[in-house]
Amino acid sequence: MKQMLSIALPKGRLGESVYKIFENIGLACPEILENSRKLIFENEENAVRYFWAKPSDVAIYVEHGVADIGIVGLDILLEQKPDVFELLDLELGKCRIAVAGKKDALKGADRKLRVATKYPAIASSYYAEKSREIEIIKLNGSIELAPIIGLSDVIVDIVETGKTLKENKLFVLEEICDISARLIANRSSFRFKTEAIENLCENLRTRNSGVEKEKIQ
Amino acid sequence: MNIKSSELCREERAIFELRGIYEQYGYEKYKISKFEEYALYLENKSFLPSPEVITFTDKNGRLLALKPDVTLSIAKNARSASEEPEKLYYNENVFRMPRASGEFREIMQLGLEYIGEVDLYAECEVLSLAAKSLEALSETCVLVVSHMGFVAGLLDECRLTGLQKEKILSCIGSKNSHETERLCHSFGLEQELCEAISAVCSLHGSFEETIEKARLYIKNEKMEDSLLLLRDIWQVLKGEFNCLILDFSVINDLSYYNGLIFQGFIDGVPATVLSGGRYDELMRRLGKDSQAIGFAVYTDQLENMERQRGGYDLDVLLLYDDKAEAEKLSAAVRMLTANGQRVRAQRVKSDRLSYKQLLRLGEGGLEILETNA
Instruction: Supply the pLDDT for residue A104.
Output: 83
Instruction: Supply the pLDDT for residue B7.
Output: 61
Instruction: Supply the pLDDT for residue B131.
Output: 95
Instruction: Supply the pLDDT for residue A77.
Output: 95
Of chain B, the percentage scoring pLDDT greater than 90 comes to 49
Please tell me the pTM assigned to this model: 0.84
What is the rounded average pLDDT of the residues B186-193?
91
pLDDT digits 0-9 by tens, A125-175: 999 988 888 999 999 989 999 999 999 999 999 998 888 899 989 999 999
The sheet with strand B244-247 has its strands ordered as: B28-29, B86-96, B105-116, B291-298, B274-278, B260-266, B141-147, B244-247, B204-205
CA-nearest residue to B100 within chain A is: A82
Every domain of chain B and the residues it spans: 10-307, 313-371
pLDDT digits 0-9 by tens, A44-62: 888 999 999 999 999 999 9
Whether residue A216 has pLDDT greater than 70: no
Task: Kindly state whether B272 is in contact with chain A, defined as any CB-CB distance less than 8 angstroms.
Answer: yes
Task: Kindly state whether B49 is in contact with chain A, defined as any CB-CB distance less than 8 angstroms.
Answer: no
Nearest to B173 by CA among A196, A187, A130, A202: A187
The reply to whether residue A89 touches residue B178, judged by beta carbons under 8 angstroms, is: yes
Instruction: Supply the pLDDT for residue A29.
Output: 85
Which residues belong to CATH 3.40.190.10 in chain A?
Answer: 5-93+180-216, 95-178
User: Which ranges in A89-173 belong to alpha helices (H)?
Assistant: 120-129, 145-148, 163-167
Candidate from B142, B175, B265 with C-beta closest to A87:
B175
**Mean pLDDT across chain B, nearest whole number?**
88
Give A143's contacts (C-beta < 8 A, 6+ positions apart).
A116, A117, A118, A155, A157
Question: What number of other Cβ atoms are within 10 A of residue B112's Cβ?
Answer: 25
ipTM of model: 0.86
Domain A5-93+180-216 CATH assignment equals 3.30.420.40: no
Whether residue B76 has pLDDT greater than 80: yes
pLDDT digits 0-9 by tens, B215-256: 999 999 999 999 999 999 999 998 888 899 999 999 888 888
Fold of A95-178: D-Maltodextrin-Binding Protein; domain 2 (3.40.190)
What is the rounded average pLDDT of the residues B290-316?
78
Chain B interface disruption, residue of A94, A183, A188, A205, most B CBs within 10 A:
A188
Instruction: Give strand ranges (E) for chain A.
Output: 5-10, 40-43, 48-53, 69-73, 85-89, 95-101, 113-117, 134-138, 154-159, 171-179, 181-185
The reply to whether residue B271 touches residue A192, judged by beta carbons under 8 angstroms, is: no
Of chain A, the percentage scoring pLDDT greater than 90 comes to 65
Min Cα separation A66/chain B (Å)? 8
Whether residue B336 has pLDDT greater than 60: yes
Instruction: Supply the pLDDT for residue B79.
Output: 80
Q: How confident is the model at residue A112 (pLDDT cuts 50, 70, 90)?
A: confident
CB pairs < 8 Å spanning A and B: 45
Instruction: Supply the pLDDT for residue A215.
Output: 67
Chain A residues bordering chain B (beta-carbon distance below 8 Å): 63-66, 83-89, 186-192, 194
Task: Output DSSP code: residue B262.
Answer: E
Residues of A in contact with B250 (CB under 8 A): none
Task: Kindly state whether B305 is in contact with chain A, defined as any CB-CB distance less than 8 angstroms.
Answer: no
Q: How confident is the model at residue B77 (pLDDT cuts 50, 70, 90)?
A: confident
Which B residues in the span 125-164 are in contact with A, Cβ-Cβ below 8 Å? 140, 142, 144
pLDDT digits 0-9 by tens, A73-109: 999 999 999 999 999 999 999 999 999 998 887 776 6
Q: How confident is the model at residue A217 (pLDDT cuts 50, 70, 90)?
A: low
The angle, 0 to 180 degrees and rounded to 10, between the axes of the packed helices B221-237 and B207-215 is: 170
Instruction: Supply the pLDDT for residue B357.
Output: 87
Domain B10-307: which CATH class? alpha beta
pLDDT digits 0-9 by tens, B106-139: 888 899 999 999 999 999 999 999 999 999 888 8
